Chains A and B, each alone.
Chain A
Amino acid sequence: MIEIFRNMWRRKFRSFLTIFGIAIGIFAFTVMGSMALKFNKMIDGGKRYITGQISISPKGTSYTGGAGSATLPLNTMNEIANVDGVDKVGALVQLNVEEPNPDEASFSMGPMPTIYGMDYNSDYKNRNWETMDMKEGEMVGKGDADNVVAVGINIATDKKLEVGDTWTIRGKDFKVKGILEKTMTGPDDYVFMAITPARQMLIDSNPFLKSLQEQADKASQISDDSLAALPAATRDQIKQAKMFNVEDINSMAGVSWKNGFDNEKVSQEIKNKFGDKVIVLSPQKMGEQIDKASATFNAVIFGSAILALIVGLFSVVNTMVMSISERTKEIGIKKAIGASPGSIAREYTFEAGVIGLIGGLVGLGLGYIMIVIVNARMASQGAEIFLVDRNFFIEVVVFAFIIGMIAGVIPALRASKLKVVDAIREL
């Protein structure tokens, strides 16, 4: 072992460069790997949620739900509730906590803080996510007032909220009833509240919906008697305005299925009956979509990290080939005094492994520093982009050692096959 370090010390600058080459590769691997792990964790949380329900969103919205202006009429939801196999339907209103401001837009890797308005009275629950673990206080639910919220851990950290605090969202005061335990996924950035205030904020944020509501309010002041006196065209317009029902404003709805029913069949049933009105996302299909997306992401991330590693690997190969040709004589001596080819091969493979290991430790160290610094900076925005996973770090170091040994195998085999006489002749 000590001989390896002496040999490395003999060629300090070259050893440094080689170790540096490996270290860069491992650095990239550590940083990108931690990012991928974090991403996967978020994806897994999202997948668990999305596969726990049949998601219904209005036609004309984005795939992921979001705060679209299209509406999901109450009647449709009630009809969906009657489909065979459907247990409960829960309406949901989603919108950003803060109105996005392009002038101050900062690039953020994490999810945006999102209001999550739930219909407490529907008794609907996601099948994979029935309850949320609370860090402090309690989750909001049936019986809670409209001005009570529960917030995700990132929001609590970012806004320095504690249970009992009052927080103003879009000009309205809310009381914090609970703070959720860290989930590493979506809910960390959610504000949970009753659907009514969320719905009103969504309407207020959308000029079109807002004007519809105002017209409906005005129309409702006109009594049926005075309506009859108006001209036919005006009457129709007012009747139309009156039809606006605030409860039709929903971003999306979750549908749970009864035990013993196949969610894929239930989704298909809903799709057959209401396919012209709503988008139905079956849990199974969504799960597959998510898997596909994360597979691509992982391939890109790990692909580029592996590329960096391969460069490092070749620098080890190069160093070992050079140092073996420098040490031909030494190898000759060792063989002359009785070293077996195997012991020569092992010695050089191990030396390359040690170079890989040192490079790995240096790279991991640098990567770890970077991860901690970036995470600390992003934490204030609730958007840590790296997962600090000790097992992954251990794997990285072991991996670096193995990579080094792999790089050393071919040069080491060459060394072990050197003809003693040829090597000795170089004396």
Chain B
Amino acid sequence: MEKIVARAKGIKKSYRMSKRNIVHALQGVDIEIREGDFSAIVGPSGCGKSTLMHILGLLDRPDEGHLEIDGVDMSRLKEKKAYRMRAKKIGFIFQGFNLIPTLTAYENVLLAGKYGGLRGSERKSRAKELLEILGLKDRMNHKPNELSGGQQQRVAIARALMNDPALILADEPTGELDSKTSLEIMDILIKLNREQNKTFLIVTHNMEVANTCKKIIRLKDGKNAK
């Protein structure tokens, strides 16, 4: 059996929108992700997919439940320490690419290395290597607005891989791409999973995307759907 990368048990999270309107986004979700997994979380909008991803990505804290990332208990992790775990253990790929607009592709990737504590020379060579693998060798010094959507998402993938995280979370990674580019991006992720044994958890409501995954986790009304 592969090593457990992330384990969540009985995760509950609610948001107080106003005095009387409390949204129970997650009402006791269990999830287990092992090294080398390539899973999708699917479900209708409002089922709590994004909330779960934020919690697994240490961007948000659960109200109740147990969370463990790479063998470390994160249930009571303070924000003051969370950033370090995010930098080293988690890689993010967002729907809207979310690159820093004032930085070039290369600098965007470097930044993640800086936060992850990589040394200068190591950082530079790794960023170049990743961009080369992702076919962006001659686009390295372009700003995000000079790149196509597919290229931007590939920069974001490089950024997510920079610190060799235990878990890569992708929130609708093809949401803003056309179907051809979507396939390209999914191919890249699949290849990374197959060849480098990277662990992916992909949030999507696109069943085509979900069907390329080895495992599908279904959510409904903030709970695991049977």
A and B interact: yes
B57 neighbours in A (Cβ, 8 Å): 336
Contact, CB under 8 Å: A420 / B59: yes
Report if A271 contacts B (CB, 8 A).
no
Q: How far is the CA of A334 from the CA of B111 in the complex (A)?
A: 8
Known A-B contacts A3-B102, A336-B59, A338-B116; A427 and B111 likewise in contact (beta carbons under 8 Å): no
Contact, CB under 8 Å: A335 / B83: yes
Known A-B contacts A3-B102, A3-B103; A337 and B86 likewise in contact (beta carbons under 8 Å): yes
Report if B80 contacts A (CB, 8 A).
yes
Contact, CB under 8 Å: B83 / A341: yes
A336 neighbours in B (Cβ, 8 Å): 57, 59, 86, 92, 98
B88 neighbours in A (Cβ, 8 Å): 338
A339 neighbours in B (Cβ, 8 Å): 83, 87, 115
**A337 is contacted by which of B95, B107, B115 (Cβ under 8 Å)?**
B115
Count of CB-CB pairs between chains A and B under 8 Å: 63
A10 neighbours in B (Cβ, 8 Å): 102
Give, as a whole number of angstroms, the nearest-CB distance from A109 to chain B: 49
B115 neighbours in A (Cβ, 8 Å): 334, 337-340, 343
Interface centre among B59, B79, B107 (most CB of A within 10 A): B59
Report if B94 contacts A (CB, 8 A).
yes
A424 neighbours in B (Cβ, 8 Å): 54, 59, 94
Report if B84 contacts A (CB, 8 A).
yes
Q: How far is the CA of A7 from the CA of B54 in the complex (A)?
A: 28
Report if A301 contacts B (CB, 8 A).
no
A334 neighbours in B (Cβ, 8 Å): 100, 111, 115
Total B residues in contact with A, Cβ cutoff 8 Å: 28
A43 neighbours in B (Cβ, 8 Å): none
Q: How far is the CA of A6 from the CA of B107 in the complex (A)?
A: 13
Contact, CB under 8 Å: B100 / A333: yes
Contact, CB under 8 Å: B87 / A337: yes
Q: How far is the CA of A240 from the CA of B84 in the complex (A)?
A: 101
Contact, CB under 8 Å: B102 / A338: no
Q: How far is the CA of A339 from the CA of B87 in the complex (A)?
A: 7
Give, as a whole number of angstroms, the nearest-CB distance from B4 to chain A: 22
Q: How far is the CA of A427 from the CA of B112 in the complex (A)?
A: 19
Interface centre among A330, A336, A341 (most CB of B within 10 A): A336
Contact, CB under 8 Å: A427 / B86: no
Q: How far is the CA of A420 from the CA of B163 in the complex (A)?
A: 20
Give, as a whole number of angstroms, the nearest-CB distance from A273 to chain B: 78
Q: How far is the CA of A335 from the CA of B57 in the complex (A)?
A: 11
**A427 is contacted by which of B60, B96, B101 (Cβ under 8 Å)?**
B96
Report if B159 contacts A (CB, 8 A).
yes
Q: Mark A304-343, 1 if CB is under 8 A from B, else 0.
A: 0000000000000000000000000110011111111101
Across the interface, name the chain B residue whose C-beta is closest to A3.
B102
Contact, CB under 8 Å: A421 / B59: yes
Q: How far is the CA of A250 from the CA of B115 in the complex (A)?
A: 80
Contact, CB under 8 Å: B83 / A338: yes
Contact, CB under 8 Å: A338 / B94: no
A6 neighbours in B (Cβ, 8 Å): 102-103
Q: Which of B144-179 contact A (CB under 8 A)?
A: 159, 163
Seen from chain B, the residues whose Cβ lies within 8 Å of a Cβ on chain A are: 54, 57, 59-60, 79-80, 83-84, 86-88, 92, 94-96, 98-103, 107, 111-112, 115-116, 159, 163
Cross-chain pairs A/B with CB under 8 angstroms, 7 sampled: A3-B103, A333-B94, A333-B99, A337-B115, A337-B159, A421-B54, A424-B54
The 3 closest A-B pairs by CB, nearest first: A338-B87, A338-B115, A6-B102
